[in-house]
Amino acid sequence: MKTYGRLYIDGHWCVPASSDSIEVTNPATEAVIATVPAGSSVDVEAAVTAARNALYGWSTTKPSIRAGYMAQIYEALVARGPELAELITNELGMPIKLSQRIQAGLPMVVLESYIKLLGEFAFSERIGNSLVLKEPIGVVAAITPWNYPLHQLMIKVAAALAAGCTIVAKPSELTPLNAFVLAEIIDSSGLPPGVFNLVSGYGAAAGESLASHPDVDMVSFTGSTAVGKRIMVLAAQTVTRVALELGGKSAAILLDDADIETAVKATLSSCFLNSGQTCSANTRMLIPHDMYEQVVDLARQHAASYLPENPLNTQARIGPLVSAGQRDRVLDYIRSGLADGAELLFGGVEPPDGLPLGYYVRPTVFGRVTKEMKIAREEIFGPVLSIMTYRDEDEAIKIANDTVYGLAGGVWSADPERAERVARKLQTGQVDINGGRFNPLAPFGGYKQSGLGRELGHYGLEEFLLTKSLQF
């Protein structure tokens, strides 16, 4: 078992104010694998002060110099990639093959994209007699969840560093270990002290202190909509900017001319990725009413290829959920689907065979789901797909938009113009047409209660900038 006893503040590994710690559990074995400090408001104070003191130097550093430091971090991240993939599999439960590609691989792609962007981005522009300057917003609090822990942290850290901001990061208490490796990497890169600080801790303590700290200029938060609303309230006291990446209840619309087999397979894959713990997962599959039987057969057939297993097995496609609490929450949703009269097509509440330990849930598919059901309305954050039927295109769009969320979605059609027409009517931040792949340079973020602001690419950089006009 590994013990992290210190926090990374002002370029040093510091003894926290209290000896309280947080146990990190491997969700596949239920064993405690590490402890990290439960940071307090005293630690947050020290970290914010360090970030404030480092701000002038870092924000006035030339972009090319900032890119140089970020390149050092990139090199070390690549070198420690295999270690990070295994670590995240052990704290989160994502199958190792996927962890290598996504959990360790994506942060590298994102960091590299910001290094490149620093070479091209115009931090000023002339508009008539004005010179418009884009200046770093200042000290950034980066508060992140557990489902893509390093990716979500890197999205914020890379963009904030590129912008010239300094950072205090607070990772999720469930998966904090990767953030300690990132802090080690940053420490070895020689980044000036105080530019990046790490305070692990619980949301109610370290998180609240950070989000309400008057010397924090921006809170960049990824997590649940409920906590996002709380962050807004806390930050409002000092009119601090917030960027919020929140929950989702995304729909894939399968139009009647779509390649149904490919669409069903891909929608299941989106829904079951990371055991369904993906904010942008397509968790509602909307299909033409008269294609129900055909889709049900395909859904059953493809769901059977997702057998929960030890995530360290290189063939594993689906592992456990992150915690006992998350498993129980998902099982409650499956029970509610049954109680509300949805048709259980695959999976269910019984634990999967042959796995006496671990927070596993059977991948589950419900048919004949209607819009009033809880499983159609709330974010489950587990491997549960709801199949809903529609009579015509307009009804499909109406059902897709009938949610407080607006993060993602999909449209499937043999006719790309028809798919685009439908996609334009969806009230969400991104829509994948016929399985269009993730683009790390395209803006990512939500409409409605899925959030405020955008991450990735130049839109993500601009979140961390203020705009000033000089008139001549």
- Residue 471, judged by CB atoms within 10 A of its CB (0-12, 13-18, 19+), counts as exposed
How many angstroms separate the CA atoms of 175 and 147, rounded? 8
Which parts of 265-284 interact with ligand NAD (CB under 6 A)? 279
Is there a catalytic annotation at residue 245?
Answer: yes
How many angstroms separate the CA atoms of 99 and 87, rounded? 9
Q: Which is nearer to ligand NAD, 252 or 299 (CB)?
A: 252
Token duo for residue 1: 């078992």
- Could you tell me how many helices (H) and strands (E) the chain has, helices first? 16, 21
Q: Nearest Cα to 272, choosing from 367, 376, 408, 383?
A: 383
**5-33: b or e for each residue (b if 16 or more CB lie within 10 Å)?**
ebbbbbbeebebbeeebbebbbbbeeeee
The active-site residue out of 14, 208, 279, 309 is: 279
Contact between 409 and 425 (Cβ < 8 Å) = no
Residue with the closest Cβ to ligand NAD? 203
User: Rg of the chain's alpha carbons, rounded to an integer?
Assistant: 22
Is there a catalytic annotation at residue 463?
Answer: no
**Is 463 near ligand NAD (CB under 6 A)?**
no
Measured from the CB of residue 157, what is the shortest distance to ligand NAD in angstroms? 14
The set of residues, in sequence order, having a beta carbon less than 8 Å from that of 101 and lying 6+ positions away, is none
The active-site residue out of 173, 245, 309, 379 is: 245
Which parts of 310-329 interact with ligand NAD (CB under 6 A)? none
Candidates 58-66, 102-110, 200-208, 358-366: pick the segment binding ligand NAD (CB under 6 A): 200-208
How many angstroms separate the CA atoms of 308 and 47, rounded? 41
**Is 146 near ligand NAD (CB under 6 A)?**
yes
Q: Which is nearer to ligand NAD, 381 or 412 (CB)?
A: 381
Phi then psi for 194, rounded to 5 degrees? 90, -15
The correct pick among 51, 162, 183, 246 for binding ligand NAD (CB under 6 A) is 246
The correct pick among 136, 145, 337, 409 for binding ligand NAD (CB under 6 A) is 145
Which parts of 365-394 interact with ligand NAD (CB under 6 A)? 379, 381
Name the strands in the sheet holding 32-37, side by side, starting at the edge strand that comes first in the sequence.
Answer: 2-3, 32-37, 21-25
**Is 248 near ligand NAD (CB under 6 A)?**
yes
**Is 223 near ligand NAD (CB under 6 A)?**
yes
Candidates 184-192, 224-232, 362-370, 389-397: pick the segment binding ligand NAD (CB under 6 A): 224-232
**Is 91 near ligand NAD (CB under 6 A)?**
no
User: What's CA 402's distance to the chain center, in Å?
Assistant: 23
The residue count for the chain? 472
Which parts of 153-172 interact with ligand NAD (CB under 6 A)? 170, 172
The correct pick among 52, 66, 80, 230 for binding ligand NAD (CB under 6 A) is 230
Contact flags string 428-447 toward ligand NAD, x per CB under 6 A: ------------------x-
Q: What is the binding site for ligand NAD (CB under 6 A)?
A: 143-147, 152, 170, 172-173, 202-204, 207-208, 211, 222-224, 227, 230-231, 245-248, 279, 379, 381, 407, 446, 450-451
Catalytic positions are 245, 279
